[in-house]
Amino acid sequence: MRLSALDCAHIPKPRLTPKMRVRGTMLLALLLAAILPAGSANEKKITVYSGISNYSLPVTDRNSLEYVGLLEVIEPLGRNVNSRTDGLRWKLHFNDGDAEFTAGKSRAKVRGRDVDLPGNFLLESGRGLVPLTSLGTLLPRLLGTSITFNPGSRRLFVGNVATHFTAQLSRTTPPRLVMNFSAPVNPTIATEPGRLRMSFNREPVVAPGTPTLTFDDAAIPSAVFSENNGAAEIAVNGTAPLMASFSNDGRTITIAPAPQQMSAPSAPAGVPGTAPATPSAANPSSAAAPGVRHFFAVVDASHGGDDRGAALSDKLAEKDVTLALARRLRQELESRGMSTLVLRDSDVNLSFDQRAIFTNTAHPAIYIALHAASDGKGVRLYTAMIPAGGENNGPFVAWDTAQTHFLPVSQIAAQGVASELARRQIQVRTLVAPVRPLNNLIAAAIAVEVAPPGTDVMDLNLPAYQQNVVSAVANGLLAVRDRLGVPQ
């Protein structure tokens, strides 16, 4: 039932008790910590890692000290946690223990014992604020367990929850840096000239024996661990663009120079305004390293990690179907002589920008995004809908409209795949839609959305159906390969 604005105006407002106001203030703080951008430059935060939950909370400055809400810090860690205010006194109950603080005083009582704080306790709108550096003293007594607290980086570890890692350089051609973690990780990855940065905002990753690791290799000379503002970062330095891939259920990250073409690709026929790229003599790193593999296709299994995609059924998530399809498609393409890179080969999440950056760095002839759906039948093929604006300026290509000059070859690829699907009597439709990251790619790019062959969504998981679809996609691309600007 929907209520109009007039109806809502006559609904009586509930009366809020002091306890409800305190709880509401605390919940608002937790919600803001969860939804505000984790990387806000001016936002101080503390991250708490425990066997129950990992979470971040805002840190405020008062009287030249950093403060944090004590109830917000410990509530996710216990079953029976509450607080109440009695004048200037603030009383806290946690599981089987109690603590008492007094506004404006630096001495508190925890489980019957006096504790001195590095600054005065503050009481604001029913919230009890303690100096950030006092957590190292307060929490072991309140929680009854050991903690490790780094005030400088504002990272707090409850119990033995740290994630350790090792880094070993494999001297292959090209070299690979293999990083093994003691627990699954899902960092945010950013690339810049000469560096790949992995930010761990939720994982309790800790430093190895030394924060700077050197590898005595020209391509990947070093990696540096740092931590700040509730997060950890591993920066890998390289003399060429680097790319990260995930395996072992998120426990292994392999970093290697991004695939480069051995020669500049020719402009696709009928596409105006493109010209072969010529490496500059002043920038030797732009030339391809000898022996680096060139991939004909980049296959991208959509979603992954905490992004499950569509809930196709109670037991079937889109991210699992797309990963199975991606692995099958790679096998089909490579069996036809078309080398293939799968961007997501495990249950990890990549942002749209990361997918686009990795693909553009690899310079493939074609990018294929894979999706799954429970509605409709057969396969839907998509090419990019280019947004208005964002015109290119000379050699500078607008990010949101990078696909513009490649739309003709994208449409050729879609037509080739559609013809093969139709030949196999698989229902197919070709559409134009704003499916990211298609519009950010500087190569032929299509999205393939696979629906069940009939009315049972679980048929999406049938190996025979998946194989029939990916085989048709591979044959369709093989048929138009020479029209994508790549020699056979």
**pLDDT over 60 (residue 287):** no
Instruction: Assess whether 142 and 201 both reside in one domain.
Output: no
Q: What Cα–Cα distance (Å) separates residue 125 from each residue in 46, 87, 88, 121, 178?
A: 21, 12, 12, 13, 50
User: Between 179 and 186, whose confidence is greater?
Assistant: 179
How are strands ordered across the β-sheet holding 212-214?
Answer: 188-192, 195-200, 231-237, 222-228, 212-214
Query: Which tokens sit at 450?
Result: 């696979």
Residue that is last in its domain, among 109, 139, 158: 158
3-state secondary structure of 157: strand
The answer, yes or no, to whether the previous bond of 437 is cis (omega within 30 of 0) is yes
pLDDT band at 348 (very low <50, low <70, confident <90, very high): confident
Instruction: Assess whether 136 and 182 both reside in one domain.
Output: no
| 284 within some domain | no
**pLDDT over 80 (residue 241):** yes
- CA-based nearest residue to 365, from 441, 454, 420: 441
Phi, psi angles (nearest 5°) of residue 111: 50, 40
Count of Cβ atoms closer than 10 Å to residue 136 Cβ: 15
Count, residues in the chain: 488
How are strands ordered across the β-sheet holding 252-257?
Answer: 165-170, 176-181, 252-257, 242-247
Give the whole-angstrom CA distance, residue 329 versus residue 324.
9
Give the whole-angstrom CA distance, residue 297 versus residue 359.
9
Q: Indicate whether this model's pTM tops 0.85.
A: no
Q: What is the pLDDT of residue 258?
A: 77
For the ranges 76-85, 241-250, 282-291, 422-431, which has the lowest average pLDDT? 282-291
Task: Read off the pLDDT of residues 350-366 as tens digits, 9 standing for 90 and up.
Answer: 889 889 999 998 899 99
Q: What is the pLDDT of residue 260?
A: 55
> Residue 443 sits in a domain of what CATH number?
3.40.630.40
Its domain, for residue 176, covers: 163-258
Instruction: Assess whether 306 and 454 both reside in one domain.
Output: yes
Give the whole-angstrom CA distance, residue 146 versus residue 446.
53
**pLDDT over 80 (residue 157):** yes
Give the whole-angstrom CA distance, residue 262 versus residue 465.
37
Instruction: Assess whether 55 and 185 both reside in one domain.
Output: no
Per the listing, tokens 């940065």 go with 197
Residue that is last in its domain, among 158, 182, 208: 158
Q: What Cα–Cα distance (Å) separates residue 478 from each residue in 171, 327, 332, 364, 413?
A: 34, 18, 11, 14, 9
**pLDDT over 60 (residue 32):** no
Per the prediction, the chain carries an average pLDDT of 83
3-state secondary structure of 346: coil
**pLDDT over 60 (residue 223):** yes
The arithmetic mean of pLDDT across residues 449-465, rounded, is 92
3-state secondary structure of 474: helix
Please, what is the Cα angle at 60 between 59 and 61, to 5 degrees? Answer: 130
Q: What is the pLDDT of residue 2?
A: 37
Residue 284 contacts by C-beta under 8 Å, 6 or more apart in sequence? none
H or E stretch including 406? none
| 268 within some domain | no
| 331 within some domain | yes
The arithmetic mean of pLDDT across residues 327-337, rounded, is 93
Count of Cβ atoms closer than 10 Å to residue 10 Cβ: 7
Q: What Cα–Cα distance (Å) separates residue 94 from each residue in 80, 159, 445?
A: 6, 17, 55
3-state secondary structure of 334: helix
Contact 435, 382 (CB under 8 A): yes
Instruction: Assess whether 153 and 195 both reside in one domain.
Output: no
Q: What is the pLDDT of residue 79?
A: 78
| 295 within some domain | yes
Give the whole-angstrom CA distance, residue 269 versus residue 409.
8
Q: What Cα–Cα distance (Å) separates residue 120 from each residue in 63, 66, 74, 82, 475?
A: 9, 11, 19, 21, 72
Name the domain count of the chain: 3
Phi, psi angles (nearest 5°) of residue 82: -160, 165
Q: What is the pLDDT of residue 42?
A: 60
| 277 within some domain | no
Q: What is the pLDDT of residue 389?
A: 60
Beta strands in 14-59 (DSSP E): 45-49, 54-58
Residue that is last in its domain, among 113, 128, 158: 158
Task: Read off the pLDDT of residues 60-80 as tens digits, 9 standing for 90 and up.
Answer: 999 999 999 999 999 999 878
Instruction: Assess whether 206 and 106 both reside in one domain.
Output: no
Phi, psi angles (nearest 5°) of residue 38: -65, -20
> Residue 220 sits in a domain of what CATH number?
2.60.40.3470
Task: Determine whether 37 is exposed, middle or buried from the number of CB atoms within 10 Å of its CB (0-12, 13-18, 19+).
Answer: exposed
| DSSP character at residue 417 | H
H or E stretch including 443? none
Instruction: Assess whether 409 and 485 both reside in one domain.
Output: yes
The arithmetic mean of pLDDT across residues 100-109, rounded, is 96
Q: What is the pLDDT of residue 486?
A: 54
Instruction: Assess whether 167 and 146 both reside in one domain.
Output: no
Looking at the chain, the number of H-run helices and the number of E-run strands are: 8, 28
| 413 within some domain | yes
| 280 within some domain | no
Per the listing, tokens 């009287």 go with 63
Query: Which tokens sit at 443?
Result: 């190569």
Instruction: Assess whether 456 and 355 both reside in one domain.
Output: yes
| 276 within some domain | no
Task: Read off the pLDDT of residues 381-393 as tens digits, 9 standing for 90 and up.
Answer: 999 988 766 555 5
Count of Cβ atoms closer than 10 Å to residue 23 Cβ: 17
Instruction: Assess whether 38 and 187 both reside in one domain.
Output: no
Task: Read off the pLDDT of residues 135-148 as tens digits, 9 standing for 90 and up.
Answer: 999 999 999 899 99
Instruction: Assess whether 20 and 81 both reside in one domain.
Output: yes
> Residue 76 sits in a domain of what CATH number?
3.30.457.10
Instruction: Assess whether 100 and 145 both reside in one domain.
Output: yes
Task: Read off the pLDDT of residues 257-272 as tens digits, 9 standing for 90 and up.
Answer: 876 544 434 444 433 3
